[in-house]
Amino acid sequence: MPRPMQTHKTPSSASKRKKDTPRKRQGATLIGTPAAPPAGRGGQASGSTPETQHRKMRKPPRFRPGTRALKEIRKYQKSTNLLLRKLPFARVVREICLILNPSSLNRWQAAAIMALQEAAEAFLVHLFEDSNLCAIHAKRVTVMPKDMQLARRIRGRTDGLG
């Protein structure tokens, strides 16, 4: 025996039930003042409320103390790039030459300045390594001028150039 086809019945408006309790509105306005237009329909630009601006501006993650320093140490230990900028270093070299010998006009080959820069950076890096060891020996983490003075004094007259 075939079944009769069921039709979907919608309740009439009389049988619909409405909620009687009023809902709280977050942006309630005073009576008589015009309400702000909904976002995206003229008025203020969409997403310009302080709440949405706060959500959009995300702070970068905060690292624990020393994490960034260790990351930089690994970065500079991996690379073989020069640490000082080439042009300022070349200017300093030329300036020192003018101070030492003002009468003659010296010209420098690029390779000569590069060799000087390599040697200067190697000297400085070695000095900082020794200064760091002096600070560690004094049970400190911070390198101070007295550590650098001690490292230079221990090196002797040649000042670590050999």
pLDDT, tens only, 35-74: 665 565 555 555 556 666 566 788 888 888 889 989 998 9
Q: What is the CATH number of domain 83-155?
A: 1.10.20.10
pTM of the model: 0.58
C-alpha 117: how far from chain center: 28
- CA torsion through residues 155, 159, 161, 162, sign: negative
- CA torsion through residues 39, 40, 42, 45, sign: positive
87, two tokens: 């042009």
Class of residue 115 by CB neighbours under 10 A (exposed 0-12, middle 13-18, buried 19+): exposed
Q: Is the model more confident about 35 or about 145?
A: 145
Cα–Cα distance between 133 and 141 in angstroms, integer?
9
pLDDT, tens only, 86-118: 999 999 999 999 999 888 888 999 999 999 999
pLDDT of residue 87: 96
